[in-house]
Structure 1
């Protein structure tokens, strides 16, 4: 694992699921160090692939923007002029569809040349089949209108960025390499060198060694500065592509909530199936056997009182076992100690039943929302089960605290490590359930240990 999360990992959450990591309570950040370079960034930039890809992006932007702008304005004008007929409406819808097609091209170009991965916008949702339904869905889609806006506003920016980038790039490399080609002027142009100034009486040429050297140094400055200017220009393109050609924050949030709703429904269904199975195979089976045993004992009361007494005694033991199973099942649904005394007492009770010695530290100024408190309890229960079954640890630590408006849980053990949240493991399911309530699960488990699992939940549901 490249990042070490100490006690106090937290994040600030926004609806777009941007994560800004902050650390408290002794947290520390780590990671693989970047490889060192012998040349400073300013000297490397003109030769880096990123600089040339960004320059290529700006060079391609102008012809594509001219084509996109011309086609869009033509189709919009024609469609608006034909609105008095029925033809104008589908033509405007076709214009929006064309802009969406150009948007697909622009996202692919930004992904390949700028390394900007923008998700596809929300798909059209026609209410029924047919051209009219498709046309209505196209007009209702905010993404379609944002694509149209991009087609209109990108051209002036593309002209400006193309002119600045090409001018700086061409003049920078031309003057930097001037010592290599200045001989062209006296040999083929009949003048001493590159003309710096000229009028009817005076002409100044860059033709002596000092002037040639100064020209090359100026070119070096231009060449070193141009990649950073180009990078600034492409930053505006990144903003335009991300803001106008990607999904809106609202639609992305809707899609996320739909996915989370599916996770919650599936989890609830799985819990109900588990409860039904536990009741059927456990307490229900014991109670059926108990009823049969009591029936036999009733028949033997007069014939063989001693045998009946033994059967009643055995039935008494079965009742105790069934009651214990029902208590365990109720605890698995929602423990009474959690409702009555909160996370501190409930987690201490769980830790006392763990096969590994576990210390619990709960530092909460107040109790979170009941739903969040229940999720936190069952999260720690599942993590401690993993510690008991798979870690091979000698000890464990559970730490719970509040970081601003987030409830933080951390379970750490000194076991063999190697836990992985991917690959369909129990941790993956736990991560999905936490994500359904805007939570987060971070696993730091290098091979050889120790394992540190940090869960984050909203303080209020």
Structure 2
């Protein structure tokens, strides 16, 4: 799923493929009239004659892979053996798609690699699990198994046709080739949209879990190093003041006064921490006021424009707020800008926000930058982040989020 772009534009939607993925023949339409024995017919004949040797190779490979994997099921190498067998099946499927493309005119997109989703997806174990769950590999194994009887039939019919059915051979070949096209489309096409969406959701769930864990660690660290440390010092100071209350009232009073100052600082730190979780101004007054408060803390002057007739769901509002917060922090730290703008609007069931600055540019979504993590967070809620930042500037970051009614999203926990 490619949702992240760097050209400042949303990726254009590709035209919906016809069933099975044929982009050139119009799958559900009859072929145009043609001569009985033209170049297309001879290509189809060649394809049908090659079916038998290719079917033999595929059948032997598929059955060997499955039986060996099953036979080794009591050993530790069973699953890796089966996984490598599925990788090989993918290669056979690629060869069959190429053959169908050249000889049958069926153009099918190459499937994406096996998806590694969720936590712990790196390394050999992640590769092993992703490969064993790969629907493309298993469908190719099925294709290899059922192709053997079909390969025998198609080879026999075409061979006999040269001697017995020559006047009608072209029409027979066309029917057999159409059956081949249907099998290639049905079993060797990329996973359908539902499978792809499931894989995306698995990946997004991993991102959300990792982000939530990182935020919890940050909150724990901030509490431990900030307010908690001040409160511990405050308790010790008040204890000493209590001991000196009768012996040295003046010193005790000074210590209590100092403790009072520590209480104020601890309260301020707790307010800042709460603002980092979910700011009160966002809950009470919405994005316009909350983003204006963010803009006031940026080192460069920021003009904020919010054009919303209603408020989105709390979760979407929170994500939009923290997205702008992180982008404005990047401007303060890295951009060396003298001016920035924040625009927020609603269109076509999407909440859009755009942050522009006149800094030196050169920002990137790659190499593990903060923008990479931000893009992953947006992707986890079916959002999109695009970046346009040529060297020398200006930099424009556009984010899209799904628009959800506030009533529908009520009760949803804000995300960061």
Q: When the two structures are superposed, what TM-score results if normalisation uses the length of structure 1?
A: 0.57
Correspondence 1:160-199 to 2 at 5 A? none
Matched, 1:267 2:263: no
Partner of residue 256, structure 1:
200
What does the per-residue CA deviation read over 1:41-96, in whole Å, with 9 as the maximum and x for residues that have no partner? xxxxxxxxxxxxxxxx99985554454467889999xxxxxxxxxxxxxxxxxxx9
SS at match of 2:263: helix
Consecutive unaligned residues of structure 2, counting only runs of 5 or more, are 16-42, 63-84, 117-132, 156-179, 410-416
Residues in 2 aligned to 1:317 and 1:357: alpha-carbon distance in whole angstroms: 33
Partner of residue 126, structure 1:
none
SS at match of 1:267: helix
Aligned pair in 2 of structure 1 residues 142, 327: CA closer, same or farther (>3 Å)?
Answer: same
Matched, 1:311 2:307: no
What does the per-residue CA deviation read over 1:254-312, in whole Å, with 9 as the maximum and x for residues that have no partner? 11111111111110000000000000000000010011111111122222222122111
Partner of residue 205, structure 1:
none
Residues in 1 aligned to 2:317 and 2:101: alpha-carbon distance in whole angstroms: 42
Residues in 2 aligned to 1:402 and 1:420: alpha-carbon distance in whole angstroms: 26
1:248 deviation in Å? Answer: 2.4
Partner of residue 355, structure 2:
411
Report which stretch shifted further, 379-388 or 432-441.
432-441
Correspondence 1:378-397 to 2 at 5 A? 378-397=322-341
Consecutive unaligned residues of structure 1, counting only runs of 5 or more, are 13-17, 21-56, 77-95, 124-136, 160-235
Partner of residue 325, structure 1:
269
Aligned pair in 2 of structure 1 residues 150, 106: CA closer, same or farther (>3 Å)?
Answer: farther
Aligned pair in 2 of structure 1 residues 418, 11: CA closer, same or farther (>3 Å)?
Answer: closer
Report which stretch shifted further, 377-386 or 359-368.
359-368
Aligned pair in 2 of structure 1 residues 111, 73: CA closer, same or farther (>3 Å)?
Answer: closer
SS at match of 1:401: strand
1:336 deviation in Å? Answer: 1.2
Aligned pair in 2 of structure 1 residues 422, 72: CA closer, same or farther (>3 Å)?
Answer: closer
1:449 deviation in Å? Answer: 0.3
Structure scoring higher RCO (CA < 8 A, sep ≥ 6) equals 2
Partner of residue 364, structure 2:
420
Contact 1:413 1:451 in 2 (8 A): yes
Correspondence 1:207-286 to 2 at 5 A? 244-286=188-230
Partner of residue 297, structure 2:
353
Partner of residue 103, structure 1:
93
Q: When the two structures are superposed, what TM-score results if normalisation uses the length of structure 2?
A: 0.63
Q: Of the two, which has the highest radius of gyration?
A: 1
Aligned pair in 2 of structure 1 residues 345, 65: CA closer, same or farther (>3 Å)?
Answer: farther
Report which stretch shifted further, 342-351 or 62-71.
62-71
Aligned pair in 2 of structure 1 residues 348, 11: CA closer, same or farther (>3 Å)?
Answer: farther
Partner of residue 377, structure 2:
433
Residues in 2 aligned to 1:329 and 1:407: alpha-carbon distance in whole angstroms: 27
1:413 deviation in Å? Answer: 0.2
Residues in 2 aligned to 1:368 and 1:239: alpha-carbon distance in whole angstroms: 47
Partner of residue 43, structure 1:
none
SS at match of 2:247: coil
Partner of residue 118, structure 1:
111
Residues in 1 aligned to 2:183 and 2:384: alpha-carbon distance in whole angstroms: 27
1:405 deviation in Å? Answer: 1.2
1:104 deviation in Å? Answer: 3.7
Partner of residue 447, structure 1:
391
1:243 deviation in Å? Answer: 7.6
1:403 deviation in Å? Answer: 2.0
Matched, 1:143 2:139: yes
Aligned pair in 2 of structure 1 residues 322, 139: CA closer, same or farther (>3 Å)?
Answer: closer
Residues in 2 aligned to 1:321 and 1:395: alpha-carbon distance in whole angstroms: 32
Residues in 2 aligned to 1:373 and 1:239: alpha-carbon distance in whole angstroms: 48
Contact 2:6 2:386 in 1 (8 A): no
Residues in 2 aligned to 1:415 and 1:140: alpha-carbon distance in whole angstroms: 46
1:102 deviation in Å? Answer: 3.2
Residues in 2 aligned to 1:105 and 1:297: alpha-carbon distance in whole angstroms: 83
C-alpha root-mean-square deviation of aligned residues, in Å? 4.5
Contact 1:363 1:400 in 2 (8 A): yes
Aligned pair in 2 of structure 1 residues 60, 103: CA closer, same or farther (>3 Å)?
Answer: farther
